[in-house]
Amino acid sequence: MSSQPLIDIARSLVGTGKGLLAIDESNATCDKRFAKLGIPQTMEARRRYRELIITTAGLGQDISGIILYDETIRQQKNDGVSFLDVLSSAGIIAGIKVDTGAKELAGFPGEKITEGLDGLRDRLREYFNMGARFAKWRAVVAIDDRRPSRGCIEANAHALARYAALCQEAGLVPVVEPEVLMDGDHTLERCREVTAECLRAVFDQLHGQRVLLEGMILKPNMVLAGLTCPQQESSTEVALATVKCLLEVVPAAVPGIAFLSGGQSGKLASARLNAMHTRSESMPSPLPWALTFSFGRAIQQPALGIWSGEEMHRGAAQAALLHRAQCNRAARRGEYGVAMELP
Ligand code: 13P
């Protein structure tokens, strides 16, 4: 397979000033979020919600690619038009989550390994033939006094690299997502250390598995203090720590870095991304890669709450979704500010 199509897809995803939207929650995760809002946990409710998202008028102005789940990529709108045709008409590239979830890592109590490599080559071929052009695999790494172990970091980095190589063989751009979780009271400095160690391991393995860096996208966490850490740094400090950490470990050949939101509020995620693009003396510039977003919750959350399963709220939910997408696109230019959050 020639590498040029992969390079072109990766550039279209990250090089256009837009970002990615993740709507690839597994059925279990989606149902959990629906349950909190009293929405029925059915395939039809999930289909209606995803239809609401992808039919939001103008979404293609801000979003270059949408990551789908296996159930969703096979679905249609009420009128029978396939979701994939909807995305294609909106100029949005279809992506697909291909891992099968994080399971207990044998021998490492409390740590996880992401599964899904068995049979992956065949699944990737099917998704490519359906029209998907990129894929996602998420590894999770937790922080506490003893974790993460080297064993957990290496096992997950290896799986990410095997996945990425299989994607490129199938013509799909791999989004490589090693997520260092925000849960806990660890400091920003500890998150920086762990993030750097994970990313070093990931790039080592990507190199070992002959992954074309120009044809992939990295989806990391921002470098942040844990959710319950009493000291929470400003957006500028988070942005600076994140960019410095990435500059140390992410090769310049990678075309783009698209952050996950990981449980940050929509506003904070936008403000922190914005701070990475705000020119200041301390912020290194120019950066070798595009820095963008691949948010799930930080774009969807307000819309899901407004919709709450009721069709009469559909328009308002779509407006809220589009607003968060616009805020993040503005953040990519360093043009996001509190004024954008006013009603
Ligand atoms: P969040 O932005 O909600 O963390 O989701 C991004 C994602 O794709 C997680 O795998």
**Which residue among 295, 304, 328 has the greatest number of ligand 1 atoms within 8 angstroms of its CB, and so is best to mutate?**
295
Residue 25 Cβ inside 6 Å of ligand 1? The answer reads no
Of 177, 193, 281, 335, which is the active-site residue?
A: 177
Nearest Cα neighbor of 229 from 272, 265, 186 is 186
Residue 322's φ and ψ, nearest 5 degrees, are -65, -35
Taken as a whole, the chain contains a residue count of 343
Residue 267 is among the residues annotated as catalytic for this protein: no
pLDDT (tens digit per residue) in 244-280: 999 999 999 999 999 999 999 999 999 999 999 998 8
DSSP letter at 321 equals H
> CA-to-CA distance for 336 and 323, rounded, in angstroms?
12
Mean pLDDT calculated for residue range 317-340: 97
Is the pTM for the entire model greater than 0.95?
yes
Q: Which domains does the chain have, with CATH numbers?
A: 3-341 (3.20.20.70)
Task: Band the pLDDT of 2: cuts 50, 70, 90.
Answer: confident
Atom of ligand 1 nearest to the CA of 259: 2
What per-residue confidence (pLDDT) applies to 1?
Answer: 63
What per-residue confidence (pLDDT) applies to 234?
Answer: 97
Mean pLDDT calculated for residue range 216-225: 98
Residue 311 is among the residues annotated as catalytic for this protein: no
Residue 22 Cβ inside 6 Å of ligand 1? The answer reads yes
Contacts for 168 with CB less than 8 Å, ≥ 6 apart: 1, 3, 6, 174, 211, 212, 215, 216
> CA-to-CA distance for 149 and 286, rounded, in angstroms?
34
**Which residue among 32, 294, 304 has the greatest number of ligand 1 atoms within 8 angstroms of its CB, and so is best to mutate?**
294
**24, 156, 175, 198 from 115: Cα distances, Å:** 16, 9, 16, 18
